[in-house]
Amino acid sequence: MLGSTILNGRQHVGLQKLSALAGISHSCLGPGRKYKFITDDTSGESALVCSCFRIVESLQLTCAVGQLVHETLQAHQKVYHSGSGCLLFLAGAWSRAALDCLQQGITVPQIISAMFEGMEICADVCRKCAVSTEGLGVSHKVSQASCTVQKHKVLNVSERRRVKLSRHFCESTSEYEVIPAPQLPDITHLAEGLSHNCDDTMKLVVEAIQLQSETNQQDSRRFAFDVSKVMTCVLPGLTEGHACVVQGSVFLLSAEQTSVAHHLNEQALKVALITGDLSDTYRHVGFNRPTSVQHVSDRLNLLGLSREDEWVEKAVTVLLNLEVNLILSSGVACEKVIQHCCRHHILVVEKVKASVLKTFAASTGAVPVTYVTQLTQHSVGTGVKSAIWRDLSGHKGTTAAAVSVSTARNSGLVTAVLTSCLHGKLQALEDQFWACAYRLHHALNDRALLPGAGRTEMLCIHHLQRRAEMHAKQELKGVQQTQPGTAAVLRLMADGLIDYTSTIMVNSGRFSKVSARTVVCQHVQDVNTHVSSAASFPQLLLEGDPAVKLDKAPAVEVYDNLSVKQEAWRKALDLVSLVLQTDAEVITGVGQSTDNLMML
Amino acid sequence: MSRLVKKSPSVCTDLPLDNADIWNKLVLLRQLLTSCFGPTARLKQVHNNIGGHVVTTSASSVLLPAISSSQPFINLIKTSILNHVSRFSDCGLFAGIFCLALIEQAKQSGLRANVSIRVNRHLLALCTSYLQREDCGCKVNLDFCSSQNLITLARSIISSKPACVLTEPEILHISKLAVQAFLLTVPCTSPGTVSLGRVVTVPVEGHPVLNSAVFPGLLVDIPDGLCLSSADHLCSSLNMVLFSASLAGDLSELGDGIIEVHQGVDTESQILDQLLELGKQVVKDEVKLFMCQKVIHPVLQQYLRSHGIIVVERLGITLMEPLTELTGAQPVAALHSVIPAKAYGKVKDLSIRQFGSKTMLHLHPVGESAICTMILCHRNETMLSELKVVCQKTEHVLRLTLREPSALLGGGCTESHLAAHVRHQTKNEVSEMVSALQCSHTEYLHGVEAFCFSLESVARALEHDGGNSLIDLTHAHHWTLPAGIMKEHMEDSLCSCGCGLVQSSPCRKWTYLNTKYAEFPPAPLLRENTVHPRVLDSFTAKLNALQVAVETANLALEVRYIIQDVN
């Protein structure tokens, strides 16, 4: 029976749900994040997760708000690979702010417009305190030598660089219109600032960039960090110290194929790229198998050859005629094909990512095809080399060797091999690697960074509170232009950010909740109006509790990503505003009526 | 042996409006629609009970199809509104709220059903004739020499759906794009019958709204961008062919029945041969662009590409018509015969455009064409899908202005003005109408009151945050007083009426919209006024919605029995 049910949410259950859901993000914030176990009671399966996105993914949220949260996190993760914790935490904090406002009698449209004003303030703060990546780290070293305070160049709104400040420009006295080559950011310095306590993983990313830029000789001016050409390969059983970056792509092979790999070691190979499965039953996507066809025959099949055998025969003949030694397939290969190929010393690698196939196509001249039978002389690529990267036959498990495949004309393809003794940790390590890689990628793309370690947040808190005071004064005076309640909303938004910063401090293990809050509030209060730049704040998250003295090396400059942070904040606000404006759920297909549901 | 199941008897409901269950459901439906009305509306999350995809919306065209009731009476009203929406796109919520209010008021006034029906019918005629009059006080003539009123019309529709989550500059940007797209669909030079083009909407998730854009011509998604490196700077007129039949190489169009195939026969390769024959002809005929609604066999694709042809597959049914209009090609539906020469189409130019992760092939028409593509960007899927619905609605409403170049004042002003007009008009003709409608004097006045109250309740539905609705006693426009403001400070907090045409002034008098006021002739606004309305509604859509609402309400009032087959 079909029916529709309308849930009335006058107490704003939606906001409460959002805030409750956001509770899971608390321990996933900041460098001091903790691992979590998620266990399934019915199947007994468990997963080790470390990021907010993975938790939400593992929990099967069926409620409407849960779905909305999942959808938003997924969209964010797909592009940025980090910041999902920040997104969810702020969605929760601001939904609590909205609840508070509703209780104070501020209407929904007023809350929405004030929150958007607050977001505009924060975006403005980010624009103003963003640091250009150009020459970052290079000038850092210079300033260290001359013992001056490091100053960041401020990004202009029109993104024009203030190159006059560059020492290179100052030295050249004769020319007026010299356009200096854009200074490269010091990648290790950037990486240090963006590692957020994942130093080992970040080192791998920097290695990957260096490997890539070594090969890109024609354009050494720019760091062309092409994330799409980075692969990961997870290898259980080795300790984490074995993680490294390898040129080309690394694939794991079974024992049977290892012998083939040994045979082909360090030889120039011919490669075929297959975008489908290697089996006789595979058909391209969109092909409908006939259901009403019967095969009739007037004689017995005496040869005993099945269709599959025939097909394998044909496929191998094609491969041999074209002298193919290596097949990279995005699908899987059937057992018989692999066996036949092994016999003829043809290496078959399955489940290769589409982007990797694309890179191989570009650098070897191979044309990806769907079926083996489509292969021609023209579509086979040359100049590929495979080498046994590591023989793992001593280890237990199905994989016997890891082979690295690289092309003669360097494609810029690099693989990060991630290792761990704990199988369950590999996923988290892989996530961490991508988070670091994308942080650098976005930093180089944005060409700007935000001062990290809570400094941007504190500046935002400061500005939000100042605007709130201004509104409060106007409200007292009874100025018509201000919306009533704006001051309260802005103040609560700032509280959300205070909560965020202090939670990260608590996660670092050096603060209690109360002391973290007081420290943040103290610093925000200390700011004079005329020195309101982010550099004037201490890097709170790196500091210890003043009560607990720690011996520490001089702190590194910590940065956050501009686009990632802004986008996470905006998406958090989108979530809150969608949920805040929702007053009912229409549930379709309700079978039996439940007590508190209204049926239409 | 067949099993016999005894049929259960049909359920008959006498006087459905007196049935408490049905009545409660009607009230609930009215509350639901009322809370979705206007720019500060509350949103609804629509999903199924097993955790399916969640849609957040306040649009009647999305919400109503999701609501399915076990009660045929509710479905009757729902279907009638949906029919209106499918023809006119706009004013669905208006029709729903007005219709349900009419039913409720008629019932509460205690009038006999046939009297209510007659009075409603008469008053509807009064309203429609007034709205169509040249001197109608709540109508604005649209001037196509300036885009201002068109943008205002578009803006009113776009800003009335808060699930789009747009800021002011974003609303303006999208409104301008909507008008631009609409203007591109009007052909400039074509003698004889003019046929409008169309707007193809392409949603792109995860990008700022301000990146949305409109392009003349068609943009076609090519997920496999890799195979198109040569197409960057192709110029001059290109031959193209368009297939509507699947070229996947399967036997999909077999129909029922069983085919017996001899063991040695390979049907697949035979079909593939047929496909390659097709490829050969296309190469011979110097086709440069090969498009298919469905899947193309990889071998055929490879063959075509090796001859320098650009291949695009899986276009989908929605792109077929715009493509035929743009290129002049006739979709080929069979692969067994030779492609006739007249089936080929032409495009002038091809280029590649990148939108986030989407790679698109931009097809430029050879001559003048009224096809354009609107790329809509938004940060997440929920808001994007609502934005898409709203933009399509706007396009439709703008088209309707070509037939009837006028618009009605928005912001509740048309409703309050119309109600004041009806009150004034009926006052003067009570005695003649009483005899014409065969009812008593009081019955007539009650009927008029119910109608006007229902009309005003639509204007009041715009307010959701405890504010009060007012009407001024000169022009009868609709004003909103925020909650918590006393009547003494009224002049300060009211600056202009709902549509923005009437400004607050010390001499103006107001009264609450849900109270009785002495009838007066609503004064028309001076035409040479330099103030432009801030909110406009579609004339055609609202006029039809008015008729649909009254007719549906009359039908509902007339229903005596509901006979329901429950088997």
Query: In which domain, by residue range, is A242 found?
Result: 227-283+306-448
From A60, A286, A600, residue closest to B25, measured CB to CB: A600
Measured between beta carbons, the chain A residues lying within 8 angstroms of B260 are 293-296
Mean pLDDT of B159-186: 92
Instruction: Specify whether the CB–CB gap between B521 and B121 falls below 8 A.
Output: no
User: Which CATH number does the domain housing residue A567 bear?
Assistant: 1.10.560.10
Measured between beta carbons, the chain A residues lying within 8 angstroms of B263 are 295-298, 301
Same domain, A44 and A173: no
CATH of B11-138+409-564, one of 1.10.760.10, 1.10.287.70, 1.10.560.10, 1.20.1330.10: 1.10.560.10
Q: What is the pLDDT of residues A30-43, one digit of tens each?
A: 777 778 888 888 88
Same domain, A117 and A12: yes
Same domain, A96 and A170: no
For residue B147, give every residue at least 6 positions away whose Cβ sits within 8 Å of its Cβ, in sequence order, or none.
B179, B183
User: A133 in helix, strand or coil?
Assistant: coil
Work out the number of other CB atoms within 10 angstroms of the CB of residue A187: 21
Instruction: Specify whether the CB–CB gap between B524 and B52 falls below 8 A.
Output: no
Measured between beta carbons, the chain B residues lying within 8 angstroms of A369 are 298, 302
Whether B449 shows a pLDDT value over 80: the answer reads: yes
**Region for residue A359 given its phi and psi (left: phi exceeds 0; alpha: psi -120 to 50; beta: otherwise):** alpha
Asked if A6 and B32 come within 8 Å (Cβ–Cβ), the reply is: yes
What is the Cα gyration radius of chain A? 29
Whether A149 shows a pLDDT value over 70: the answer reads: no
DSSP state of A333: B
* A374 CA: distance to closest CA in chain B (Å): 7
Same domain, A507 and A570: yes
Same domain, A533 and A553: yes
- Out of A448, A472, A493, a domain closes at A448
To 5 degrees, how large is the angle CA B139–CA B144–CA B147? 95
Question: Which residues of A, range 564-583, sit inside 8 Å of B by Cβ?
Answer: 567, 570-571, 574, 577-578, 581-583
The CATH classification number of B143-216+376-404 equals 3.30.260
- Out of A403, A426, A448, a domain closes at A448
Same domain, A545 and A412: no
B28: nearest CA partner in chain A = A600
Q: How many A-B residue pairs are in contact by the CB < 8 A criterion?
A: 200
Task: Say if A298 falls within a structural domain.
Answer: no
Top residue of B26, B27, B47 to mutate, by most chain A CBs within 10 Å, is B47
A483: nearest CA partner in chain B = B482
Mean pLDDT of A152-181: 38
Whether B315 shows a pLDDT value over 60: the answer reads: yes
| A568-572, B91-95, B190-194: least confidently modelled range | B190-194
**A111 in contact with B, Cβ within 8 Å:** no
Same domain, A109 and A142: no
Mean pLDDT of A13-26: 84
Measured between beta carbons, the chain A residues lying within 8 angstroms of B248 are 284, 286-288
Cα atoms in the 13 Å half-sphere on the side-chain side of B137? 22
Task: Say if A197 falls within a structural domain.
Answer: no
In this prediction, residue A300 has a pLDDT band, given cuts at 50, 70 and 90, of low
Whether B406 shows a pLDDT value over 70: the answer reads: yes
In this prediction, residue B36 has a pLDDT band, given cuts at 50, 70 and 90, of very high
**B28 in contact with A, Cβ within 8 Å:** yes
Residue A399: the pLDDT is 66
Asked if A374 and B261 come within 8 Å (Cβ–Cβ), the reply is: no
Q: Across the strands, what pairs with A561?
A: A449
More confident residue, B179 or A388: B179
Work out the number of other CB atoms within 10 angstroms of the CB of residue A78: 12
A358: nearest CA partner in chain B = B226
Residue A142: the pLDDT is 38
Which DSSP helix (H) or strand (E) runs through B5?
A: none
Q: Across the strands, what pairs with A402?
A: A252, A390
Residue A396: the pLDDT is 58
Asked if A107 and B298 come within 8 Å (Cβ–Cβ), the reply is: no
Report the percentage of chain B scoring pLDDT > 90.
40
**B41 in contact with A, Cβ within 8 Å:** yes
DSSP string, B402-451: HHS-EEEETTTHHHHHHHHHHHHHHHHTHHHHHHHTT--HHHHHHHHHHH
Candidates B129, B135, B209, B124; CA nearest to B175 is B209
Whether B201 shows a pLDDT value over 80: the answer reads: yes
Residue position matching structure tokens 């959300």: A496
Q: What is the pLDDT of residues B484-506, one digit of tens each?
A: 776 666 766 777 888 888 888 77
**A297 in contact with B, Cβ within 8 Å:** yes
More confident residue, B244 or A523: B244
Q: What is the pLDDT of residues A208-243, one digit of tens each?
A: 888 887 765 555 445 567 888 888 888 887 788 888
Question: Cα(B29)–Cα(B38) distance, rounded to whole angstroms?
Answer: 17
Question: Which residues of B, range 428-467, sit inside 8 Å of A by Cβ?
Answer: 464-466
**B204 in contact with A, Cβ within 8 Å:** no
More confident residue, A578 or A147: A578
In this prediction, residue A174 has a pLDDT band, given cuts at 50, 70 and 90, of very low
Same domain, A76 and A162: no
Residue A138: the pLDDT is 55
The domains spanning B11-138+409-564 and B143-216+376-404 adopt the same CATH topology: no
For residue B131, give every residue at least 6 positions away whose Cβ sits within 8 Å of its Cβ, in sequence order, or none.
B138, B139, B408, B418, B539, B543, B546
Instruction: Specify whether the CB–CB gap between B114 and B383 falls below 8 A.
Output: no
Asked if A294 and B46 come within 8 Å (Cβ–Cβ), the reply is: no
Same domain, A31 and A85: yes
CA-to-CA dists, residue B555 to A26, A344, A429, B102, B294, angstroms: 57, 81, 66, 11, 46
User: A193 in helix, strand or coil?
Assistant: helix
Residue A163: the pLDDT is 34
Measured between beta carbons, the chain B residues lying within 8 angstroms of A75 are 205-206, 379-381
The CATH classification number of B218-253+265-368 equals 3.50.7.10
Mean pLDDT, chain B, as a whole number? 87
Structure tokens at A420: 């761990």
Amino acid at A375: L
Top residue of B48, B49, B60 to mutate, by most chain A CBs within 10 Å, is B49
**B353 in contact with A, Cβ within 8 Å:** no
Instruction: Specify whether the CB–CB gap between A364 and A271 falls below 8 A.
Output: yes
Residue A150: the pLDDT is 37
Top residue of A69, A84, A287, A569 to mutate, by most chain B CBs within 10 Å, is A287
In this prediction, residue A548 has a pLDDT band, given cuts at 50, 70 and 90, of very low
Mean pLDDT, chain A, as a whole number? 76
* A363 CA: distance to closest CA in chain B (Å): 13
Instruction: Specify whether the CB–CB gap between A55 and A69 falls below 8 A.
Output: no
Structure tokens at A6: 């309308």
Same domain, A235 and A357: yes
Task: Say if A598 falls within a structural domain.
Answer: no
From A4, A6, A107, residue closest to B465, measured CB to CB: A107
In this prediction, residue A167 has a pLDDT band, given cuts at 50, 70 and 90, of very low
For residue B507, give every residue at least 6 positions away whose Cβ sits within 8 Å of its Cβ, in sequence order, or none.
none
Q: What is the pLDDT of residues A495-545, one digit of tens each?
A: 999 889 888 888 877 778 888 888 888 777 776 554 555 555 666 655 544
Report the percentage of chain B scoring pLDDT > 70.
94
For residue A442, give every residue at least 6 positions away whose Cβ sits within 8 Å of its Cβ, in sequence order, or none.
A80, A561, A562, A563, A564
Mean pLDDT of A355-376: 85
Whether B139 shows a pLDDT value over 80: the answer reads: yes
Asked if B68 and A3 come within 8 Å (Cβ–Cβ), the reply is: yes
**B381 in contact with A, Cβ within 8 Å:** yes
From B48, B259, B379, residue closest to A293, measured CB to CB: B259
Structure tokens at A65: 């708000």
DSSP string, B125-167: HHHHHHHHSTT-TTEEE--TT-SHHHHHHHHHHHHT-GGG---
Amino acid at B274: Q
**A123 in contact with B, Cβ within 8 Å:** no
Task: Say if A300 falls within a structural domain.
Answer: no
Most confident residue range from A170-179, A456-465, B394-403, B490-499:
B394-403
More confident residue, B3 or A433: A433
Asked if B45 and A367 come within 8 Å (Cβ–Cβ), the reply is: no
Q: Across the strands, what pairs with A384?
A: A269, A407
Whether A316 shows a pLDDT value over 80: the answer reads: yes
Same domain, A101 and A143: no
Question: Which residues of A, range 514-553, sit inside 8 Å of B by Cβ?
Answer: none
Amino acid at B529: N
Whether B529 shows a pLDDT value over 70: the answer reads: no
Mean pLDDT of B78-86: 94
Mean pLDDT of B229-247: 73
Structure tokens at B531: 């103030």
| Residues counted in chain B | 567
Same domain, A328 and A441: yes
Task: Say if A339 falls within a structural domain.
Answer: yes
How many structural domains comprise chain A?
3
Task: Say if A273 falls within a structural domain.
Answer: yes
Measured between beta carbons, the chain B residues lying within 8 angstroms of A78 are 206
Asked if A107 and B50 come within 8 Å (Cβ–Cβ), the reply is: no
Report the percentage of chain A scoring pLDDT > 90.
3
Q: Across the strands, what pairs with A391?
A: A401
More confident residue, A331 or A59: A331
| Domain extents in chain B | 11-138+409-564, 143-216+376-404, 218-253+265-368
Question: Cα(B148)–Cα(B42) distance, rounded to whole angstroms?
Answer: 29
In this prediction, residue B551 has a pLDDT band, given cuts at 50, 70 and 90, of very high
**B169 in contact with A, Cβ within 8 Å:** no
Mean pLDDT of B78-87: 94
Asked if A583 and B42 come within 8 Å (Cβ–Cβ), the reply is: yes
Indicate if the alpha-carbon torsion angle B405, B411, B415, B419 is positive or negative.
negative
Task: Say if A79 falls within a structural domain.
Answer: yes
Whether B548 shows a pLDDT value over 50: the answer reads: yes
**B297 in contact with A, Cβ within 8 Å:** yes
Instruction: Specify whether the CB–CB gap between B29 and B77 falls below 8 A.
Output: yes
| Main-chain phi, psi angles of B107, to 5 degrees | -70, -40
Whether B509 shows a pLDDT value over 80: the answer reads: yes
From B45, B162, B493, residue closest to A64, measured CB to CB: B45
Task: Say if A215 falls within a structural domain.
Answer: no
